[in-house]
Structure 1
Amino acid sequence: MKNVIMITTDQQKVDAIGCVNSSYHTPNLDKLVERGVRFTGVISTSAQCSPSRASWMTGKFPHQVGVNNIGHVLDPQEWGIAKEFNRAGYETVYLGKWHLGLSPAHHEFQITDYRTDGFDLGAANPEPRFHSHRDALTSTKALNYLEDYEGDKPFFMAVNWYMPHPNTPVDPPFELIQQYAAQFPKSEMPIPSSYYEDDLSTKPEFQQIRSQQGESAMTEDIVRRDAQHYRSMLKLMDDNLGRLVSKLEAKGMLENTVILFTTDHGDMQGAHQLRLKGVLPYKELYNVPVILYAPGEQAARTVIPDLVSSAAVTGTLLDAAGIQVPVECEGGSLLPHLRLTEPPEEQLVFFEHYKAYWGYHPFRAAQTPEWKYVYYYEEDMEEIYNLQNDPDELVNLAGRPEAETARQSLRGAVDHWWDITGGLSHPVIQDNVNKWGKE
């Protein structure tokens, strides 16, 4: 039986990989890409930490398990990935960021902490309040677990890093890893073309307002500064990844260990004159990287552009371990896509958002290779983009005749999906510790 490691970052754009975008430096992630398969069409179920992570744990959409936004607790009574690995005889380990209320132990992860002797800070900040420090600590725990592993039973380990998520208490929003600052000169950092090309005049009014105030009241200098800090954090993340893979190699475990690398959602990085994340449907937030290294699996393609949901991460981890994907895991598995030589004829992926820290504009949405459709169901507003002609999502075609046929079709599909998956009928458990999002 294969060991399985799920490695996650927080807020990493789909192209934030050195071999994809040379403005990043991620040699260890590049090597993982070379060894495995890179999925480029994965759409996050929700571009917010808690809802997206609930999908990883359950294989369902956030509204199906009552985790609509940060501050909602994932019910321990739900079917979950640790329970399935436990039934298959695995040791289950969860280290790092959780963000789902209660603790991983409540969801039957057997090990949720580990020894930290030999703690290697690397280039991280020595103060524990920084994300870089937290990730160094998580990495040390994972390395020590691997060092102690004797092979008595297979393991499933989730290693969950905070970077490159913003939350630095100094010089916000993104932490600058000083050791790597010189590798990313601010003056050379790229600015997204949509920063200049999208005046948001066809977009919902709240986006226009948002772009002109608060954190999104940006200049070119701020965009470049964010880009520098963001890349320095991902370089340090890559160091941590390299240490984990090197440990697997040193112990002769790599050829019997599945590794799935992904993130919960992306980051705007100044695209469309917007910053960070929030109630926004853009590809910068919803298109997320998935890299799968699965020894023994033969792939017809090494880069797979098929449109798929991040809800499939759960089933993929089980499937790659040789465990039958249970019916509760509605997202299915990505492994069948390894055997396809081209994208399937029918591609339709759903996604959602409920409430962000800067606004209540809930939407349900769908994407095909040709179109992206978004319905703000509390405000009866729509966005629709022709992705073939407008891949950067600059012009909202809602209300225009050339998009009407697609709009009607996708509206029907979205409403049907919402109805058959229960809408907002699932009870919500409020997190009494994290007050954000409390209704």
Structure 2
Amino acid sequence: MGAGPASAPQDAAAAAQARPNVIVVLTDDESVAELTERTMPETLEALSEDGNGTEFTASIVSSPLCCPSRAGSISGQYPHNDGVFDNEPGYPGLADKGSTIYSWLQAAGYRTGHLGRWLLNYDAPAPPGEDYDTDGGLAAPPGIDHWFGYVGSQTLYQGATLSRNGTPVTLGGGLRGYTTRAINREALGFVRAAKSDPRPFFLTVAQIAPHAGGAVPPAGGYCGRGGLPVPERGKIGKWRTEPLPKPPNFDESKLGDKPDWVQTRPGLGAQRRHFLRLGWRCALATLGSVDRGVGQLVEQLERQGELDNTAVFFTSDNGYLFGEHRVVLNKVYPYEESLRVPLLARVPERLLGRGVRREGRPAAVEYPVNNLDLTATILDLAGAPPCTAAGACRVLDGRSLMPLLSGKRPDWARQRTLLFQIGSQRQCGALPGRGMRNFYDGIRTRRHVYVELDRVNPDTGQCDRPEYELYDLKRDPYQLRNRAVNPALATPSPLQASLAQRLAVMRQCSGIAGRDPASARPFCE
């Protein structure tokens, strides 16, 4: 009986060891095409070591745009549930700001950290009716123990100002002031601190690369001009003559079946193609610094004896288009190059049980998954509910990927429909003057992509008329033939009608059947 109190610290330590550390490395605007053994060899090697790596080859995001995608990753919810549909208003639009993956894991006993990019407009004053104060971006968001986040511009590769737990840190020139390097150093320091802290940790390393950015020329060379991504000084050389990929949908010639906002895009003449080549080369060159940081993190974990107790994930907030469908250096569009993102995972073998392993490149999972699933997976690994210490809980819209990581193939994975959203119908009439993009909802299955778009009049901000897109990814992987019709003008095919019904359900969905209590709303898939 007398041994009870004395064994309590040992029990606590054993419980902490049973719950793994988790690291998420998040890039910005990195397309699937940019993750290769040439661009990121250390990342691929580190996350496939010992055969414990998994690559999700059909991973998409809940919104192919920075802020709503990142909001979904911290809330575990689709935009129609967490309130963030666009970069504007950004953070002020997030519902239940105190209830995110950071506050949930903190409540579960984790030491939490976020380094680098955060939601846009975090440094802006709270709008009327909102009761929060970020101290101009200096204060850490709720639930974050260690904060190293941007203050002001979040797109500077050189000379950026970040807040280290409330203290502004302005990076200087040279290699030491290069933002990716500074974030890498901060990540290593966070991991080293685990040696003296018994708690498991959760860390997000949110790099700017390969997002378009800024630096004062000649620091970035030609990459420092025109808003292109800015690599470390001297790093462009390896990529200076790299050819621009030209898949079948590059500078697409027949756009008559596309929505108006694509039809009106001009062809890619010599000047645009030159700019695309520069953008491609500069983007690839920025990834070397991210890659080195991933390698350093994994090496540090191994030195500390933490690697076998740490799950590491690598992904991006959205993809990017380099001339596909005539889109020049942009995301937002509901096409595969914009929706799909890299997703690599290395999970300790003791947590996986019997699974599929192979040496070299990670094992591949081809079923559709999204960023909300990563949130659910991390909570599953930690054994934590999506609830704060005060009992504020969210209903997650994603599923844990642990069955897929363990080599299982559940029925839901084969039959699943995923939602993606930009903007909302209720926002459409409230944004006069903003005709920069359409608002849309879409779904993706293993084989099809279906989208319903609302065109916006740039003068009034009102929606004119809906437009539709439907692609068979098996027969048409480059999305060259739109098979949808406008139901007001023609009878849709049974396939389009079926997908439209599924979209109508998904745009209202909440939670997962069999895991969450039933409500008046349909479940997500």
1:256 matched residue in structure 2: 309
- What residue number does 1:398 align with? 484
* 1:306 alignment partner in structure 2: 367
Find the counterpart in structure 2 of residue 162 from structure 1: 208
**CA RMSD after TM alignment:** 2.9
Q: Tell me, in whole angstroms, the C-alpha distance in 1 between the residues paired with 2:254 and 2:188.
A: 47
Match of 1:429 in 2: none
Residue 318 in structure 1 maps to residue 379 in structure 2: yes
What is aligned with 2:401? 334
Secondary structure of 1:179's partner? coil
1:187 CA displacement: 5.3
Q: SS at the partner of 1:220?
A: helix
> Which segment drifts farther, 136-145 or 347-356?
347-356
Pair 1:158–1:279, CA change in 2 (3 A): closer
Residues 252-290 of structure 1 show CA distances to partners (whole Å, capped at 9, x for unaligned) of 211111111111001101212112224410111101111
The 10-residue stretch of structure 1 (249-258 or 36-45) with the greater mean CA deviation from structure 2? 249-258
| 1:382 correspondence with 2:468 | yes
* 398-407 or 149-158: bigger deviation: 398-407
Task: Confirm or deny: 8 A CA contact 1:279 1:361 kept in the other structure.
Answer: no
Match of 1:31 in 2: 45
2:235 counterpart SS class? helix
Judge conservation of contact 2:58–2:369 (CA < 8 Å) in 1. yes
* SS of match in other structure, 1:272: coil
Q: Which amino acid is 2:264 matched to?
A: I
Q: Which structure has the larger Rg over C-alpha atoms?
A: 2
Q: Choose 332-341 or 319-328, whichever is displaced more.
A: 319-328
Amino acid at match of 2:80: H
**Structure 1 residue 196, shift from structure 2 partner:** 4.2
- Does 1:204 pair with 2:259? yes
8 Å CA contact 2:276–2:329 kept in 1: the answer is: no
Aligned mates of 1:332, 1:325 — CA distance in 2: 13
* Structure 1 residue aligned with 2:521: none
Q: Structure 1 pair 367/233, CA: closer, same or farther in 2 (3 Å)? A: same
> 1:8 aligned to 2:26?
yes
Q: 1:57-96, aligned counterparts within 5 Å?
A: 57-70=74-87, 71-73=89-91, 74-77=94-97, 79-96=99-116
Aligned partners of 1:191 and 1:224 also within 8 Å: no
Correspondence for 2:298 among 245, 249, 255: 245
Q: 2:403–2:409: 8 Å Cα contact kept in structure 1?
A: no
Match of 2:63 in 1: 46
Asked if the contact 1:37–1:304 (Cα under 8 Å) also holds between the matched residues in 2, the reply is yes
Q: Is the 8 A contact 1:191 1:220 kept in 2?
A: no
Instruction: Give a deviation string over 1:311-345, Cα, whole Å, max 9, x none.
Output: 11111112123435676222121112224555743
The answer as to 2:235 corresponding to 1:172 is no
- The letter of the residue matching 1:381 is E
Preserved CA contact (<8 Å) 1:59 1:312: yes
Q: Taking structure 1 as reference, are residues 32 and 320 closer, same or farther at Cα in structure 2, changes over 3 Å only?
A: farther
The yes-or-no answer on 1:108 pairing with 2:143 is yes
Question: Which residue of 2 is the match for residue 141 of structure 1?
Answer: 186
Alpha-carbon shift at residue 211 of structure 1 (Å): 4.0
C-alpha deviation, 1:212, in angstroms: 5.3
Question: In 1, distance between residues paired with 2:324 and 2:447?
Answer: 21
Alignment check: 8 A CA contact 1:79 1:328 kept:
no
Deviation string for 1:162-204 (max 9, x for gaps)?
A: 1101022531232342422221233534333311444322111
SS at structure 2 position matched to 1:380: strand
Please report how far the alpha carbon of residue 67 of structure 1 lies from its aligned counterpart in structure 2 after TM superposition: 0.9
Q: Secondary structure at the match of 2:182?
A: helix
Give matches, 1:114-153, under 5 Å: 128=171, 133-149=178-194, 150-153=196-199
Q: 1:152 to 1:230 in 2, by over 3 A?
A: same
| Distance (whole Å) between structure 2 residues aligned to residue 95 and residue 224 of structure 1 | 30
Name the aligned partner's letter for residue 291 of structure 2: D
The whole-number CA distance in structure 1 between the counterparts of 2:402 and 2:435 is 37
Provide closer, same or farther for how the CA distance between residues 126 and 167 of structure 1 changes in structure 2, counting only shifts above 3 A.
closer
* Residue identity opposite 2:48 in structure 1: E
1:419 match: secondary structure: coil
Structure 1 pair 227–303 and aligned structure 2 pair: CA distance change class (3 A): same
- Structure 1 unaligned segments of length 5 or more: list them: 115-123, 423-439
Counterpart Cα distance in 2 of 1:402 and 1:15: 37
Q: Distance in 1 between matches of 2:247 and 2:402?
A: 33
Q: Give the superposition deviation at 1:412.
A: 0.9
Distance 1:217 1:335, change over 3 A: farther
Aligned partner letter, 1:112: W
Instruction: Quote the residue 2:130 is aligned against.
Output: none
Q: Is the 8 A contact 1:42 1:309 kept in 2?
A: yes
**1:406 to partner: Cα distance:** 1.4
SS, match of residue 262 in structure 2: helix
Whether contact under 8 Å (1:186, 1:225) holds in the other structure is: no
User: What letter is aligned with 1:268?
Assistant: L
d(CA) in 2 for partners of 1:192 and 1:89? 48
SS of alignment partner, residue 113 of structure 2: strand
Q: Which moved more, 1:98-107 or 1:230-239?
A: 98-107
Sequence identity percentage: 26
- Secondary structure at the aligned position of 1:239 is classed as helix
Q: Is the contact between residue 76 and residue 107 of structure 1 (CA under 8 Å) also seen in structure 2? A: no
Cα 1:187/1:17, change in 2 over 3 Å: closer
Give the alignment partner of residue 410 of structure 1, picking from 472, 484, 499.
499
Deviations 1:81-112 (A, max 9, x none): 11221121111111111125246733221221
* Match in the other structure for 1:236: 289
Deviations 1:336-382 (CA, angstroms, capped at 9, x unpaired): 22245557431211111128986241100011122110001443110
Residue pair 2:57, 2:342 contacting (<8 A) in 1 also: yes
Equivalenced residue count is 407
Answer with 230-239 or 130-139: which moved more: 130-139
Letter in 2 for 1:156: F
